[in-house]
Structure 1
């Protein structure tokens, strides 16, 4: 079972359609896990300052060397701005060769926290799902 941080509100109070992104990083070396999780927490602190963010959870399954995020966005443009944001790019460059990363996204008519977490949790628990490389 995944452990998660408390919900972190973003800059937007959007009530309409949203884009949900689930990232799943599997760390090759367990000694890298603390640094990777700290990097995620650093990005989380800036979350309310980023345009188009609705909110996020960070999650981890420590014994499986997995961690990632479940983030909710106004739209794909907002997600792409984050992907290209220099602090995010720097973290991805620093850690991209230290494991594998998968990303899944979906659109929803509205944000429902319980429904979003349930669907993300199901994605994270799927064994052998096709890998989709996250943009770096």
Structure 2
């Protein structure tokens, strides 16, 4: 992925404290490419609003938002980790999420992929709640976003 990507730190959800190494999780990787470059900051701001409520989102393990500004086309999205697919489905159906989807419909192209995976061991030097094996999940997401691995 180009070095111009901006990303937030991982933010834990309530399920981060009940998952650990060896836990099965669902990872959702999303990308929204705007038709016009000036649309990306608005999408990123809406993502940050949703992120504020993350600690109260049932089934949420962790979230990282990202944005890649470019000269002609901008991309932004998220990498979210869920305790199960049902938790993700409940989040997608929430009114505040649906409002954002409707607001940006027709202003760009959305792609997403789900991956079932197992969390690895905590990263050295990180507190257990933050370092529950999220680094490999981000590395996988980067390969998909860079076009190295397929979206399917």
TM-score normalised by length of structure 1: 0.90
**Would you say how many aligned residue pairs link Structure 1 and Structure 2?**
131
Cα gap change, 1:114/1:128 in structure 2, threshold over 3 Å: closer, same or farther?
closer
Structure of larger gyration radius: 2
Give 4+ residue runs of structure 1 displaced > 2 Å after superposition.
127-130
Say whether residues 1:73 and 2:82 are aligned partners: yes
| Counterpart for residue 86 of structure 1 | 95
When structure 1 is superposed on structure 2, of 40-49 and 9-18 the one drifting more is 9-18
TM-score normalised per structure 2: 0.81
Q: Where in structure 2 are the equivalents of 1:106-121 lying within 5 Å?
A: 106-110=115-119, 112-121=133-142
Partner SS, residue 33 of structure 1: helix
Larger helix proportion of the pair: 1
Task: List alignment gaps of at least 5 residues for structure 2.
Answer: 121-132
Q: 1: CA distance between counterparts of 2:88 and 2:62?
A: 12
RMSD: 1.6
Point out where structure 1 has 5 or more consecutive residues left out of the alignment: none
Separation in structure 2 between the aligned mates of residue 128 and residue 9 of structure 1, nearest angstrom:
26
- In structure 2, the residue matched to 1:125 is 146
Whole-angstrom distance in 2 between the partners of 1:65 and 1:56:
20
Task: Tell me how far apart the structure 2 counterparts of residues 102 and 84 of structure 1 sit (CA, whole Å).
Answer: 17
Q: Which residue of 1 aligns with 2:126?
A: none
> 1:96 & 1:23 partners in 2: Cα distance?
15
| Aligned partner (choices 4, 21, 24) of residue 17 of structure 1 | 24
Pick aligned residue for 1:98 from 104, 107, 114: 107
